[in-house]
Chains A and B, each alone.
Chain A
Amino acid sequence: MKLNFHKNHKLLFGVVFWGFVALTLIIAVLPATWVQQQNEPLPASEPMTELQRKGLNIFISEGCVYCHTQQVRPIEMDENWGRPSAPGDYARINRQDVWRQTPAVLGSERTGPDLSNIGKRQPSDVWHYMHLYNPRSVVKESIMPSYPWLFEVVENPSDGATTVSMPEGYGPKNGTIIATREAEALVAYLKSLSQVPMDAWPSAAQQAKADSAVASAVKKKVNGATIYANNCASCHQNNGQGIQSTFPSLVGAAYVTEKDPTRHIRAVLYGLQGVTIDGKDYTGVMQPFGELLSDEEVAAVINYERTNWGNDAPTITAEDVTKVRNNDELNKIQPNE
Chain B
Amino acid sequence: MNNPSAVQSVGRPFTVEKAKAEERIDTSPESVKLIFTYIAFSAFWLVFGTLVGEYLGFKFVWPELDSISWFSFGRLRPVHTNILFWGFLSQAMIALALYVVPRTSQRELYSYKFGWVSFWLINTSVFFGVITLMAGINNGGQEYREIIWPIFLLFALGLILVAYNLYKTIADRNVKEIYISNWYILAACLWTIVLVVTAYLPGYQEDGISQTVVQGYYMHQGVGQWFTPMVLGLTYYFLPILLNKPIYSYSLGVLAFWTQMVFYTMIGAHHFVFSPIPWWIQTLAIVFSVGMFVPVTAGAGNFLLTMRGKWRSIARSYSLPFILAGVLFYAIVSYQGTLEAFRSLNKVWHFTNFTIAHSHMSMYGFVAFLVWGGIYGLIPRLTGKEPPQFTVGAHFWLALIGVLVYSVPLMIGGTLQGLSWMAGEAFIESVTLMTPYWVWRAVGGTMMFLSHLIFAYNVWKMRPDSWQRLRQVTELQTN
Q: Which residues of A contact B (CB under 8 A)?
A: 5-7, 9-10, 12-13, 16-17, 19-21, 23-24, 27-29, 31-36, 39, 60-67, 69, 71, 73-77, 80, 84-96, 99-113, 135-136, 139, 141-149, 217-218, 220-221, 223, 225-226, 229-230, 233
Contact = CB atoms under 8 A, between A and B. Distances in A.
B469 to A, nearest CB: 37
A39 B275 CA distance: 15
B207 A110 contact: no
A13 B198 contact: no
B390 interface: no
- Chain B, interface size category, equals 35 or more
The residue in B139, B195, B277, B352 that gathers the most chain A C-beta atoms within 10 A of its C-beta is B139
Interface stretch (B59-67, B115-123, B292-300): B59-67
B194 A21 contact: yes
Interface in B50-70: 59-60, 63-64, 67-69
Interface in B412-456: 421-422, 424-429, 431-432
A13 B167 contact: yes
Contacts of B137: 61, 99-100
A25 to B, nearest CB: 9
8 contacts: A27-B266, A31-B278, A39-B210, A60-B140, A61-B138, A102-B207, A106-B212, A225-B426
**3 smallest A-B Cβ distances: which pairs?**
A63-B74, A229-B426, A101-B140
Contacts of A86: 276
Contacts of A7: 176-178
A230 B426 contact: yes
A229 B424 CA distance: 12
Given A6-B177, A63-B77, A35 B202 contact: no
B339 interface: no
A86 to B, nearest CB: 5
Contact of B148 (A99, A143, A147): A99
Nearest to B171: A9
B278 A141 contact: no
Contact of A27 (B68, B200, B265, B352): B265
A290 B137 CA distance: 41
A13 B140 contact: no
Interface stretch (B83-91, B184-192, B313-321): B184-192
A226 B195 CA distance: 45
Interface in B163-208: 167, 170-171, 173, 176-178, 183, 186-187, 190-191, 194-195, 198, 200, 202, 204-208
A35 B208 contact: yes
A314 B296 CA distance: 64
Contacts of B195: 24
Contacts of A149: 67-69
Interface stretch (B213-221, B233-241, B302-310, B365-373): B213-221
A62 B347 contact: no
B1 to A, nearest CB: 6
B271 interface: yes
Nearest to A149: B69
B143 interface: yes
Nearest to A8: B178
Contact of A12 (B176, B178, B214): B178
B13 interface: no
The residue in B140, B171, B186 that gathers the most chain A C-beta atoms within 10 A of its C-beta is B140
The residue in A7, A88, A101 that gathers the most chain B C-beta atoms within 10 A of its C-beta is A101
Given A35-B278, A95-B206, A102-B140, A221 B198 contact: no
Contacts of B187: 13, 16
A1 to B, nearest CB: 10
B424 A218 contact: yes
B138 A20 contact: no
A113 B428 CA distance: 8
A100 B213 contact: no
B268 interface: yes
B205 A36 contact: yes
A217 B140 CA distance: 33
Nearest to B212: A106
Contacts of B278: 31, 34-35
B141 interface: yes
